[in-house]
Chains A and B, each alone.
Chain A
Amino acid sequence: MRLLSGISLGQFIPGESFVHGLDPRCKIICTFLLLTGLFLASSPPDFALWGALLVAISLLSQIRLGLVLRSARPVLFLALITILLNIFWTPGHEIFRAGFLKITEEGLILSIRMGMRLFFLVVFAALLMMTTSPMSFSDGLERLLSPLAALGFPASEMAVMMTIALRFIPTLFEETDRILKAQISRGADFESGGLLKRARSFIPILIPLFVLVFQRAENLAVAMESRCYVPGRPRTRMCPLVWRRSDSAALIILFAFISALVALDRRFLRFLIR
């Protein structure tokens, strides 16, 4: 049973690399810039440069590229649907027809573009999570959202909530795997039959999983209370966030790179000429 094997989404990989050492606020802003920049990329040279950037960041993070790429695995199905929808339902110059299905040149280009964007979006987000511990990620996010606290936004509570959610991702995979194996040992079959039958066979997994998650949440809440956690009460940090020169440098370099990519994009140039 290889249903859940190899999923690395959201898992922090401890390390001492340059990227690991950056301030989480810097990494969150950089990822936001990367994701925004991705939606402006459209041509093959653009995506080649994005690929080069991915390899560079992966090297700076000292995380194997294979592991980073593997994080896109859970969204392959979603990417496939996006590609198929765009390939068959985009109007334009027809290049192939089989019955009611037709492929247009525009559809083909758009589907490749969307698939590439989705892939880079997931791997860059995964790189952020692989190099930032959930605790520092939520600290960074809390600090970035702290101006909203004046408007009553519960930034601190949201940060703790996010830490726990991220901390529980591997636990949930583990528990799902355990339940899967328990059901298989009792004769359940998750691998044969059509899509609908297979989807239905997962109901006996979901019910115990939900029960377990609520039980875990209750136990964790009690444990957190016993460790003096009180929602809304100010907390301090063992490692207060410090913005260093390296953070500014990383941000400036990335901003310059994305700006250059955008400027190089032919559509953007055409837009400027107009």
Chain B
Amino acid sequence: MGSIFSLRGVVFRYPGAESCALDGVDLEVSVGEWVALVGANGSGKSTLAKICNALLTPTQGDCFVLGENTRDGLSTAEIRRSVALVFQNPEDQIVASIVEEDVAFGPENLALPHEEIKRRVDFAIEAVGLSDERRRGVFSLSGGQKQRLALAGALALEPEALILDESASMLDPEGRESFLSCLNGLKERGMTIVQITHRMEETIGADRLVVLDAGRAAWDGAPNEFFRGEYRRWSFEEPPAFALFRELLERGLLPAGTSPDVGSMLDALCL
């Protein structure tokens, strides 16, 4: 399986900043993979997302997206089309006042024929479950619907990969659940997803988990491996399902015959 993102020794320093936001990140993301990117505030997660979308150019090192170097100005447009970015606050990325007009903004920027724009808008609105709201004003949508609208705007570009920068963090449990089920649907269709999050329970469905610490990729592996104990090194919270299982096991409250092996239970939960 080919790489969609390939970061080689990426260093990034914001103008005037004393330290580097990214300090030599090496990362490969394969086509169709779901990678959860976690880390404390200021660890460089959002900077990494912007570099992968060619919004920022590395100070040192290279970032390749589908084989194109983000330094190459000629490929910038194609990179932004191939890698769609969804930000934390949907209010910051909604341009138009009507749902379908906002979803059309990206394809309109690609100067596509209007029939093609319409097809993409129909697809994206359907994919996020906003078909009944397509003529509604964006200000009458709930927080979860606005975030799904932002996702639809990204999907209308027909990208190969999605980068979600804490996109579910402002949602209530119901909104988060519906947003995550949208992502599961996209993953099943083969979409590459890089999900930046602070919530450990959102990483359970991921294929890989990468920890960014002080601008470096400090840990890279399967989520079940991470929650066997590694997560304690960075003071992350255990996902509630894992914590519950561990607690039940430690108190001897699990029915007879349940495997006492925490690892195998974690494997089952992550599957």
Interface residues on A, range: 20 to 34
A133 to B93, CA, bound (A): 18
Docked CA distance A234–B135 (Å): 26
In the assembled complex, B198 has its CB within 8 A of some CB on chain A: no
Interface residues of A in 128-151 (CB under 8 A from B): 133-135
**For the complex, is B111 an interface residue (Cβ under 8 Å from A)?**
yes
Q: Does B85 contact A (CB under 8 A)?
A: yes
B239, CB-defined interface residue at 8 Å: no
Docked-complex contact A170 and B136, CB < 8 angstroms: no
Contacts of A167 in B (CB 8 A): 94-97
CB pair B81 A228 closer than 8 Å: yes
Task: Given A14-B137, A228-B157, A237-B108, check contact A134 B96 (CB 8 Å).
Answer: yes
Query: A150-189 toward B: CB 8 Å interface, digit per residue (1/0)?
Result: 0000000000000110110011000000000000000000
Summed over the interface, the residue pairs from A and B with CB atoms below 8 Å come to a total of 102
Task: Give the shortest distance, in Å, between A134 (CB) and chain B (any CB).
Answer: 5
Output the least CB separation between A171 and chain B (Å).
7
A234 to B84, CA, bound (A): 21
- CB-CB contacts below 8 Å: B209-225 with A: none
User: Is B235 part of the binding interface, using a Cβ–Cβ cutoff of 8 Å?
Assistant: no
B5 on interface, CB distance cutoff 8 Å = no
Verify B106–A228 contact, CB threshold 8 A. yes
- A233 touching B111, Cβ below 8 Å: yes
A219 touches B114 (CB 8 A): no
Q: How far is the CB of B52 from the nearest CB of chain A, in Å?
A: 10
Contacts of B107 in A (CB 8 A): 238
Contact A14 B77 (CB under 8 A): no
Task: Please state if B137 and A12 are interface contacts (CB–CB under 8 Å).
Answer: yes
- Chain B 120-142 per-residue mask, 1 if CB under 8 angstroms from chain A, else 0: 01000000000000011101000
Q: Please tell me if the beta carbons of A235 and B114 are within 8 angstroms of each other in the complex.
A: no
> Residue on A with the closest CB to B104?
A238
B117/A238 in contact, CB under 8 A: yes
Whether the pair B108, A133 counts as a contact (CB closer than 8 A) is no
Within 8 A of A (CB), among B144-158: 153-154, 157
Q: A228 and B139: CB pair below 8 A?
A: no
- Contacting B at CB under 8 A, from A186-238, are 216, 219-220, 222-230, 233-238
A230/B135 contact (C-beta < 8 A), A133-B101, A134-B96, A238-B100 known: no
Smallest CB–CB gap between A235 and chain B, Å? 5
Instruction: Convert B28-44 into 0s and 1s, putting 1 for each residue whose CB lies closer than 8 angstroms to a CB of A.
Output: 00000000000000000
Q: Please measure, in the bound complex, the distance between the C-alpha atom of A216 and the C-alpha atom of B93, giving whole angstroms.
A: 9
A164: B residues at CB distance < 8 A = 95
Question: B-facing mask of A233-267, CB < 8 A → 1, else 0?
Answer: 11111111000000000000000000000000000
* CB atoms of B114 and A237 under 8 A apart: yes
Interchain CB contact under 8 A, A227 and B101: no
Task: Report yes or no: B139 in contact with A216, Cβ–Cβ below 8 A.
Answer: no
Question: Contact between B135 and A220 (Cβ–Cβ < 8 Å)?
Answer: no
Given A14-B136, A216-B92, A228-B97 contact (CB < 8 Å): no
B interface vs A, CB < 8 Å? 50, 53, 55, 77, 80-81, 84-85, 87, 89, 91-98, 100-101, 104-114, 117-118, 121, 135-137, 139, 153-154, 157
| 11 residue pairs from A and B, CB less than 8 Å apart | A14-B135, A134-B96, A167-B97, A170-B139, A171-B91, A223-B87, A224-B105, A226-B84, A230-B109, A235-B108, A239-B114
A residues contacting B by CB (< 8 A) are 12-14, 133-135, 163-164, 166-167, 170-171, 216, 219-220, 222-230, 233-240
Q: List the 9 closest pairs (A to B, CB-CB), nearest first.
A: A223-B93, A219-B92, A238-B104, A228-B109, A238-B117, A227-B106, A226-B85, A135-B101, A135-B96
